[in-house]
A and B are shown apart, each in its own frame.
Chain A
């Protein structure tokens, strides 16, 4: 019985992790791209990595927290501009290939040994080298606080402070996207998703609108990346292609083109994976699947779940099938 309680605890603890919040922020950004604008961005992890490097390198260079955050936002913006200019006039799958390639380029440059002194090469940057400016902002006293069955440090690496900030940002960004999407600008964006030529015939500059959407989603991705590495460390390989695919899975699980879909999807995604892993661990003896293999098994299930989700319920949990346009 204890084992099941541990699984339940792990599930709930994973749901509120600051990295889960960061993942949700990136998923909200991807939802702006894909769900609302219909852009097939397959490089959201690249935006995250750019944001992570932007923040950590700027902080290590001596910038204060707010300046480093601005660097993060600027990095996301520039990356979106660079990606958008060659591809936004082309068909959707070109954007997919270019975004995935650009994300890989960022990762390869980040892990290159010639940049060891800046990015730490393939070893990355340890969290304690850039985390302090953020921790210093904490208004909480030292010590630990217990809430429900959780007991964390107030300010520490993975404590309440970063959890509260990250999840508050998730709510703020979700509300922001909601406000954006019910504005005239949002209606144009959704119009582009439905029929680009129709919007163009109304005299709208489709390219500019797509670019704005790419930048907004990309900046959200960069901020997601920044909060992803604050409680951990900058590891270029952790923010690779598979991260992008996991964000896609989470977004589609919750429901693309909805406001809360990416948030719900992210929290559920991690909880479900832990649930699969824990259940398999308990039910199947080690002789058949050892602990490492159960983890791999849970990732296989994630892949299968993504396939089934897209085939049988592309609108996800919260989505409306009419709102979703896969013909990009």
Chain B
């Protein structure tokens, strides 16, 4: 009986279509990446070749005019940051250089956090980054979620489009990890969990603790974080959500409970980690370039890992008995219970999967984006809601497709509107969707009630 109910909902055919779309997007982004002509660097941008090596970096949110001095091997170069806080310098001798940030040139109220003098060894033909962290910086650059490799060029060109598409794909994949859980929870329990965002933040902050504070290997860190965040999901359902379901709390009350939990968690994070942004793995990210697209290696494997995990989740939902039961509960809890499915066990499992995926997403966001702070999750929550609403509330695959669209929208919005508005664009998109198709792409009309 369950099987027939499911066959109507997500036949293998529609699954193939979804994966086809996903694959198509991947292929498209990489053909765009390799097919476009090589980037023409602006005259003042350092290009590493056989005779030169480049140092570069971005000091977020300080704007132009901050001076850095690069000393060593008989050379002494003074460079200034541009309006985005980016700087770069060319040297012609390999060796060790001392890079000094002139603190006097920082804007008022901004102070150096960590070392203002850093040493870097460089070989000709290579680019080396130097990161100076600052406190008190304001403006767009200081915001979270600004992708690190963003090209500063203004206006439209194909190279920039390719870069943004890849950035959008990356954001979309990481967002998908988080929002699939949100959608599964909604599907099985009807709850729009506002505290799901804090699960993402928790993952990021735990990742920082294990990888940077305790110095563990990043892959080991990911495993530990996923286990720990999954455990928080188990405990939450056991201590809070299951008793509340039994108590017969209405969904609106439950939503407000998740808001209370979100508030409490946010300030708990602040208590332990402070209000500043932490970045996982502070060492200089190694970058590589395919055509016009520059990415860090961390970004690449984070995207790869996301794709693998998303496929595994998809296979779990479609191919395993428990996965089918999960979708059955999502479809109709009473019918599922009548067919002998242990609904409470499935919901417990969904909480564990959802929080573990959110934790994974948090670690990777902390790794590839600008870092994680106590309100990072909250900033992403609305993007997640936009993604699951776009895909259709409660449908896991809808959440995946919705996330990719939202990720792309956020990164491609830069072409049309100023950078400050890129998140706002995604939220406007959310409202427009509700106007024209409130049930989302994969949702059924009855869900809108």
Partner of B253, one of A90, A98, A242, A311: A311
Q: Judge if A109 is at the interface, Cβ distance under 8 Å.
A: yes
Contact call A252/B256, Cβ cutoff below 8 A: yes
Q: Judge if B421 is at the interface, Cβ distance under 8 Å.
A: yes
Contact call B267/A307, Cβ cutoff below 8 A: no
With A306-B260, A326-B250 in contact, is A296–B267 under 8 Å at CB? yes
- Using an 8 Å CB-CB cutoff, how does the interface string of B405-424 with A read, 1 for contact, 0 for none? 00000000000001011011
Q: Judge if A61 is at the interface, Cβ distance under 8 Å.
A: no
Contact call A101/B431, Cβ cutoff below 8 A: yes
Contact call B435/A86, Cβ cutoff below 8 A: yes
Alpha-carbon separation in the docked complex, A326 to B244 (Å) = 14
- Using an 8 Å CB-CB cutoff, how does the interface string of A282-309 with B read, 1 for contact, 0 for none? 0000000000010011011111111111
Alpha-carbon separation in the docked complex, A109 to B262 (Å) = 25
Contact call A326/B252, Cβ cutoff below 8 A: yes
Partner of B268, one of A93, A245, A300: A300
- Using an 8 Å CB-CB cutoff, how does the interface string of B380-424 with A read, 1 for contact, 0 for none? 001001100100000000000000000000000000001011011
Contact call B424/A108, Cβ cutoff below 8 A: yes
Give A298's nearest chain B residue, CB to CB: B267
Residues of A within 8 A of B252 (CB): 40, 92-93, 326-328
Within 8 A of B (CB), among A64-103: 85-87, 90-94, 96-98, 100-102
The interface stretch among A111-119, A159-167, A211-219 is A111-119
Contact call A114/B389, Cβ cutoff below 8 A: no
CB distance from A115 to the nearest CB of B (A): 8
Contact call A310/B431, Cβ cutoff below 8 A: no
Alpha-carbon separation in the docked complex, A241 to B194 (Å) = 11
Alpha-carbon separation in the docked complex, A300 to B438 (Å) = 35
Give A293's nearest chain B residue, CB to CB: B271
Alpha-carbon separation in the docked complex, A248 to B449 (Å) = 25
Contact call A105/B424, Cβ cutoff below 8 A: yes
Contact call B438/A94, Cβ cutoff below 8 A: yes
Give A93's nearest chain B residue, CB to CB: B192
Contact call A101/B430, Cβ cutoff below 8 A: yes
CB distance from A249 to the nearest CB of B (A): 8
- Using an 8 Å CB-CB cutoff, how does the interface string of B421-436 with A read, 1 for contact, 0 for none? 1011001101100110
Q: Judge if B13 is at the interface, Cβ distance under 8 Å.
A: no
Contact call A104/B427, Cβ cutoff below 8 A: yes
CB distance from A96 to the nearest CB of B (A): 7
Alpha-carbon separation in the docked complex, A86 to B385 (Å) = 16
Contact call B257/A311, Cβ cutoff below 8 A: yes
Contact call A97/B253, Cβ cutoff below 8 A: no
Q: Judge if B309 is at the interface, Cβ distance under 8 Å.
A: no
Partner of B255, one of A93, A303, A305, A311: A93
With A111-B420, A326-B250 in contact, is A102–B271 under 8 Å at CB? no
Contact call A90/B263, Cβ cutoff below 8 A: no
Partner of A300, one of B264, B430, B435: B264
Within 8 A of B (CB), among A7-61: 40
With A245-B263, A310-B260 in contact, is A326–B253 under 8 Å at CB? yes
Q: Judge if A158 is at the interface, Cβ distance under 8 Å.
A: no
Q: Judge if B138 is at the interface, Cβ distance under 8 Å.
A: yes
Alpha-carbon separation in the docked complex, A97 to B197 (Å) = 14
Contact call B448/A94, Cβ cutoff below 8 A: yes
Q: Judge if B378 is at the interface, Cβ distance under 8 Å.
A: yes
Contact call B255/A300, Cβ cutoff below 8 A: no
Contact call B259/A105, Cβ cutoff below 8 A: no
Q: Judge if A122 is at the interface, Cβ distance under 8 Å.
A: yes
Q: Judge if B5 is at the interface, Cβ distance under 8 Å.
A: no
Contact call A102/B431, Cβ cutoff below 8 A: yes
Contact call A101/B448, Cβ cutoff below 8 A: no
Q: Judge if A314 is at the interface, Cβ distance under 8 Å.
A: yes
CB distance from A92 to the nearest CB of B (A): 7
Q: Judge if A123 is at the interface, Cβ distance under 8 Å.
A: yes
Q: Judge if B247 is at the interface, Cβ distance under 8 Å.
A: yes
Contact call B192/A98, Cβ cutoff below 8 A: no
Q: Judge if B349 is at the interface, Cβ distance under 8 Å.
A: no
Residues of B within 8 A of A85 (CB): 435
CB distance from A100 to the nearest CB of B (A): 7
Within 8 A of A (CB), among B134-160: 138-140
With A93-B251, A293-B271 in contact, is A112–B264 under 8 Å at CB? no
Q: Judge if B265 is at the interface, Cβ distance under 8 Å.
A: yes
Partner of A299, one of B249, B255, B267: B267
Within 8 A of B (CB), among A205-262: 241-242, 245, 248-249, 252
Chain A to chain B contacts (Cβ below 8 Å), 9 pairs? A86-B435, A90-B448, A91-B449, A101-B382, A101-B427, A105-B428, A108-B423, A303-B263, A311-B249
What 9 pairs between A and B have smallest CB-CB spacing?
A303-B264, A303-B263, A306-B260, A112-B420, A307-B260, A91-B449, A299-B267, A326-B250, A101-B427
Given A96-B192, A303-B266, A310-B253, list of 7 further CB < 8 A pairs?
Answer: A90-B438, A94-B448, A102-B431, A105-B424, A296-B267, A303-B263, A306-B256
Measured CB to CB, the residues of B under 8 A from A are: 138-140, 192, 244, 247, 249-253, 255-257, 259-268, 270-271, 378, 382, 385-386, 389, 418, 420-421, 423-424, 427-428, 430-431, 434-435, 438, 448-449
